[in-house]
Amino acid sequence: MRISVIFRIVFFCISTFGLVARFLYNDLSVLAYFTIQANLFIWGWWMISLVFGKQLPDLLIFHSGFKGAMLLYIITAGLLYQVLLAGSIDETSAMQSLLLQINHGITPIAFLIDWIFFTPRERIIPKYLFLWLLYPAIYLLISILYGAGNGIYLYSFLDINRIGVLNFLFSMAGMMIYFILLSGLILFTHNALCRRSHSGMMHN
């Protein structure tokens, strides 16, 4: 069995546990959070990769551009927790702490490793960046409108009533810059690895 398959089986199982236990420990309302949605993307990607196996290259979802987008989202989920939310979420129980580590740490790192070592290298064109940014832009818009409608904000940095207009605008600008820079970094790194891979094949 290929190393990539073993790797994906292991982390698919860990991801499954992390999501199912999270739904049981909390409830389905956690589906509204960016982290859980990003984890579901990765879970689905691993599941389909294990089901279809060698047919992966024929599936559009396994194009490097799609995998780059999912990497952007899951890395964001991990960084969002580590930079902004760590310490503000209840980790009083061992189970809650474990689930937070799976959703925000283990799964993002595992998918990054999968992306580095087990991704077929085909060049990603820059226009993909605009497609990658659609989901977070729509997510932010819906979250802001939802909070404005009922006063319940999923993330404190979106609560314009609490942080003020200026800080809200700074938050929006910061997130825009962050997503553009990280998207560019992923694209640049992927294409650099692609050129290196093709160069190695030519020399062989």
pLDDT tens for the 204 residues of the chain, in order: 589 899 999 999 999 999 999 999 888 889 999 999 999 999 999 998 888 776 655 555 557 788 899 999 999 999 888 877 665 565 567 888 888 899 999 999 999 999 998 877 778 888 888 889 999 999 999 999 999 888 888 888 889 888 999 999 999 999 999 999 999 999 999 888 887 765 554 444
Distance, in Å, from the CA atom of 71 to the CA atom of 69, rounded to the nearest integer, reads 5
Domain that holds residue 56: 3-203
Can you list the alpha helix ranges (DSSP code H) found in 26-120? 34-52, 64-80, 94-101, 107-117
- Give Cβ neighbours of residue 204 (< 8 Å, ≥ 6 apart): none
Domain tally, the chain: 1
Whether the model clears a pTM of 0.85, i.e. scores above it, the answer is yes
Distances (CA, A) of 2 to 45, 54, 197: 17, 11, 19
153 neighbors 159 (Cβ within 8 angstroms): yes
124: left (phi over 0), alpha (psi -120 to 50) or beta: beta
